[in-house]
């Protein structure tokens, strides 16, 4: 039994396009094993892809994620965790600010919608 995934299996498992997967390799987020023209992804690459997609969902840039993943190889888990806490704290501030901006925008739109609906007799 092998823990290796093919290129196609990796795309399917993470619901990403081949272009996305190749790009992640190009910018050195992923480093699959190569057998001839085939690429094979082991547990390390699967774990990295999981972290990459989670980080993207949280709003981190690919460069931030690449640098953060590099810390593990250079300085180990503890330093990677410390940096993660700092990144998360910063991103939480950004997301809260965006949330406040969005709440204001929704309130403004609702108010304008209600005013216009009142002008045409619709509520």
Quick check: 3 and 42 in contact, CB under 8 A? yes
The reported pTM is 0.82
Q: Is the pLDDT of residue 1 over 60?
A: no
Mean pLDDT of 97-113: 98
Q: Given this model, what pLDDT does residue 7 score?
A: 96
C-alpha torsion angle, residues 77, 83, 88, 94 (rounded to 10): -160
Mean pLDDT of 60-86: 94
Mean pLDDT of 31-45: 94
Nearest to 47 by CA among 85, 90, 5: 5
Mean pLDDT of 63-76: 93
Q: Is the pLDDT of residue 99 over 80?
A: yes
């Amino acid at each position: 039994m092998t823990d290796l995934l093919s290129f196609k299996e990796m795309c399917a498992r993470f619901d990403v396009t081949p272009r996305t997967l190749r790009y992640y390799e190009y910018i050195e987020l992923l480093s699959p094993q190569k057998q001839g023209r085939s690429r094979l992804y082991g547990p390390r690459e699967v774990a990295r892809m999981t972290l990459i997609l989670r980080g993207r969902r949280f709003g981190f840039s690919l460069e931030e994620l690449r640098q953060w993943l590099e810390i593990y190889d250079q300085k180990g888990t503890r330093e990677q965790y410390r940096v993660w806490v700092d990144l998360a704290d910063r991103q939480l501030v950004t997301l809260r600010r965006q949330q406040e901006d969005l709440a204001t925008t929704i309130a403004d739109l609702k108010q304008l919608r209600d005013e216009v609906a009142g002008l045409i007799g619709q509520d």
